[in-house]
């Protein structure tokens, strides 16, 4: 905590910067970059006048946060969407998540940008790479262009673009081969594909968990490809995203997307300000709200509010709310977006089937029991426990939690001085 009053001084800044450096290193930011960053922040902060309503510690957090966001690009940079067809070349090492990202990007282009994508299988070396892309293509309902027996990825890429023009596809995503390490043959091949198809967008995919190695590979790929942007994959609840800061500092190319989970819709646009929150352990509440809004049905919410007000909220509504939460993604990843939860979640193993027992209990109830929980006597609870593979204490616990939730919801909706949601900046 900073102790200065009117302005930030050398003495009251030292302790804070020690904590900042520790947070950066915990997030796997390169040591040299972390040191340089804290020196720049110190220079920016020293002597700054503090508004009477703001504590020096709060001012320092803002300076650190804003500086971090600026270093990572300041604003979100979207990918190029013009092209007939739009050609996107996907590059990276083996195991970085290129193929999965290609499928996620295809789904995003289709669902959010109205494109009709075609996936091109140009990884002709890795066993089962083409099969993997076909499976992913089926999952996202996007066709995959392949050429059996053709071992020339340059020819396959050119043929895929011809096919796209012929069949009216408005985007082609070229999934290329990776290696376990950078080698000359790989670099020559990806450069040859680039020269042959002149892509509108070249994206370098890197595993956020590889830390410092990610920076070195990003640099070497950029020297050969001069790519347009970076994609960070596997940025789940355990990873704070320091690689984002390190890569941006070294290659000066924008990070455009982050993969935040295994599901095909777990791909988010990269926002430097939100990543700064995450690196500093402040969560990512804006992304959490956005995920909630994607699943939010205003008409359903109005109906639900009326039911709560009349104390008619039942187990069917409860089950519906669980389904909404599950649609938002992996439970651990969602929880890690809540400020202060990132570190707490690090070593916790939260099963994605956390709601399984609750769903089983509710599914074992009759429609009458779901809509009128008051009739759940001892014999009914025993039958429900047997039917759901749980115990009577499990059923009792759920019914008790449900009653408490219902009372709280009723209290909140009927309260005259309804609390306003805090404004988000």
Residue range 150-182, pLDDT digits in tens:
899 999 999 999 999 999 999 999 999 988 778
Instruction: Summarize pLDDT for 290-317 with one digit per residue, the tens.
Output: 455 555 555 666 666 677 667 777 888 7
Instruction: State if pTM tops 0.75.
Output: no
Same topology, domains 86-282 and 292-414? Answer is: no
Cross-sheet strand order for the sheet of 201-207:
144-145, 117-122, 171-176, 86-91, 201-207, 229-233, 255-259, 267-269
pLDDT tier for residue 401 given thresholds of 50, 70 and 90: confident
Residue 37: Cβ within 10 Å count:
22
Find out whether 287 and 277 touch, Cβ atoms under 8 Å: no
Asked whether the predicted pLDDT for residue 412 surpasses 70, the reply is: no
Measured CA angle at 197 (ends 194, 200), to 5 deg: 80
Residue range 320-341: mean pLDDT, rounded: 57
Angle subtended by helix axes 392-414 and 378-388, to nearest 10: 110
Angle (CA) 178 184 185, round 5°: 65
Residue 302 is encoded by which pair of tokens?
């109005």
Choose between 367 and 305: higher pLDDT. 367
The pair phi, psi for residue 121, each rounded to 5°, is -90, 95
| CATH class of the domain at 10-71 | mainly alpha
Domain 292-414 has CATH 1.20.59.10: no
Domain 86-282 in CATH 3.40.50.300? The answer is: yes
Residues 6+ apart with CB under 8 A from 98: 90, 91, 92, 123, 175, 176, 178, 205
Q: Where in the chain are the domains?
A: 10-71, 86-282, 292-414
Band of pLDDT at residue 423, cut at 50, 70 and 90: very low
pLDDT digits (tens, 9 = 90+) for 196-234: 999 999 999 988 777 667 788 888 899 989 999 999 888
Would you say residue 356 has pLDDT above 70?
Answer: yes
DSSP 250-278: HH---EEEEE-SSSTT-EEE--HHHHHHH
Looking at residue 375, the DSSP 8-state letter turns out to be G
Q: Which of 188-197, 243-252, 258-267 comes out lowest in average pLDDT?
A: 243-252
Contacts 24+ apart (CB under 8 A), 35-43: 37/67, 37/68, 37/71, 37/245, 40/67, 41/17, 41/67, 42/13, 42/17
Confidence at residue 416, expressed as pLDDT on a 0 to 100 scale = 40
């Amino acid at each position: 905590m900073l102790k200065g009053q009117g302005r930030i001084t050398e003495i009251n800044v030292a302790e804070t910067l020690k904590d900042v450096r520790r947070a950066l290193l915990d997030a796997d930011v390169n040591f040299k970059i972390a040191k340089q960053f804290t020196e720049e922040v110190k220079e920016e902060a020293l002597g700054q006048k503090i508004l009477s309503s703001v504590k020096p510690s709060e001012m320092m957090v803002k300076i650190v946060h804003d500086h971090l966001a600026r270093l990572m690009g300041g604003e979100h940079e979207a990918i190029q969407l013009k092209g007939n067809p739009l050609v996107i070349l996907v590059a990276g090492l083996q195991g970085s998540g290129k193929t999965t990202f290609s499928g996620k990007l295809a789904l995003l282009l289709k669902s959010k940008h109205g494109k009709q994508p075609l996936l091109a299988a140009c990884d002709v070396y890795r066993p089962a790479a083409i099969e993997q892309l076909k499976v992913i293509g089926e999952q996202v309902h996007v066709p995959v262009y392949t050429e059996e027996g053709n071992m020339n990825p340059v020819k396959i890429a050119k043929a895929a673009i011809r096919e796209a023009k012929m069949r009216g596809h408005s985007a082609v995503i070229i999934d290329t081969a990776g290696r376990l390490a950078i080698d000359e043959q790989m670099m020559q091949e990806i450069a040859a594909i680039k020269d042959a198809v002149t892509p509108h967008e070249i994206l370098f995919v890197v595993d956020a968990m590889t830390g410092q190695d990610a920076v070195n590979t990003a640099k070497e790929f950029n020297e050969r490809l001069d790519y347009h942007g970076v994609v960070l994959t596997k940025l789940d609840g355990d990873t704070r995203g320091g690689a984002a800061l390190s890569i941006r500092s070294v290659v000066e190319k924008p990070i455009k997307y982050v993969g935040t989970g295994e599901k095909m819709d777990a791909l988010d646009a990269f926002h430097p300000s939100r990543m700064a929150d995450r690196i500093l352990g402040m969560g990512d509440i804006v992304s959490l709200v956005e995920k909630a809004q994607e699943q939010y049905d205003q008409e359903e919410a109005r109906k639900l509010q009326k039911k709560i007000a009349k104390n008619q909220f039942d187990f069917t509504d409860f089950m519906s709310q669980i389904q909404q939460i599950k649609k938002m993604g992996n439970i651990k990843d969602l929880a890690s977006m809540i400020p202060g939860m990132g570190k707490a979640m690090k070593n916790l193993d939260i099963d994605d089937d956390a709601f399984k027992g609750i769903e089983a209990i509710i599914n074992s109830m009759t429609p009458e029991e779901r809509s009128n929980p008051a009739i759940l006597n001892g014999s009914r609870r025993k039958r429900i426990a047997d039917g759901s593979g749980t115990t009577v204490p499990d059923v009792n616990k759920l019914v008790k939690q449900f009653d408490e939730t219902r009372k709280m919801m009723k209290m909140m909706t009927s309260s005259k001085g309804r609390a306003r949601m805090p404004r988000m900046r």
